[in-house]
Structure 1
Amino acid sequence: MLHYAVVFLIIALVAALFGFGGIAAGAAGIAKILFVVFLVLTVVSLLMGRRG
């Protein structure tokens, strides 16, 4: 999940470099969502690991 967030972040940076603002904003938004999902899943995984 974190890998995909980094990939979309790189896509956003490259698109912004070449002046594609809409594509850059979309890719950055997707990267943010994936990063938040990664953080939530990591916290849930850590909490479940302590219970077991």
Structure 2
Amino acid sequence: MLIKLLTKVFGSRNDRTLRRMRKAVSLINAMEPEMEKLSDEELKAKTNEFRATY
């Protein structure tokens, strides 16, 4: 009974994982317009920046 209550309040493990993933997807989608404007060479240069940041 306690587990059911906690699951309703905090969500299941899957719900919590999806919530965390949605935040990451939102950040990635926000970067898309900027990345589309980059040339292939500029995008290659960003790779190291991404690796250092994320």
Place the TM-score, normalised by the shorter chain, in its bin.
0.3 to 0.5
TM-score normalized by structure 2?
0.43
Larger radius of gyration: 2
Q: Normalising by structure 1, report the TM-score.
A: 0.45
